[in-house]
Amino acid sequence: MSQVAELNTLAVGDEIPEHDAGPITRWVLAMFAGGSGDPNPMHIDSDFARMVGREDVFAHGMLSMAYLAQLLTNWVPQDRIRSFSVRFASITPVNTSVRCKGKIIEKFEEDGEQRLRLELVATVDDGAVTLTGEAVVACA
């Protein structure tokens, strides 16, 4: 119950603990292709990537979304998450690391419970924003 009290005391503008993930090596991309069931060669076959005009493979967008999900589940139990959405803003190059951040932007009541709305962002090494998103989390 202490966690409930903690969430209720958070205010708009408060940030949640950051989550750093990666580096996204080629091994990670191969594991994620299999682990997530995504056969797209664009993420694991550099010959294919070059053939279609890319310099190299790049990370699955859903890998960074999984990192943003870890930002949330490291902070609250997963069953508190009501919704989670992202927009993929730019490509995540291979061999970069991902920094995930979240900030409370609204406190509101819905379906008989107190909820928090968070703004989420993922950036890579050079500070480029790769994903932006939102999550709604129940306080209790």
- Interface positions with another protein (CB under 8 A): 21-22, 28, 31-32, 34-40, 42, 52-53, 61-63, 65-67, 69-70, 72-74, 78-79, 81-88
Closest CA to 102 of 81, 83, 85, 122: 122
What residues have CB less than 8 Å from 2, skipping those under 6 apart? none
Query: C-beta of 48: minimal distance to another protein in Å?
Result: 9
Nearer to another protein, 123 or 133 (CB): 133
Please spell the DSSP secondary structure of 17-72, one letter per residue.
PPEEE----HHHHHHHHHHHT---GGGT-HHHHHHTT-SS-B--HHHHHHHHHHHH
Query: C-beta of 87: minimal distance to another protein in Å?
Result: 5
Nearer to another protein, 15 or 20 (CB): 20
Query: C-beta of 121: minimal distance to another protein in Å?
Result: 15
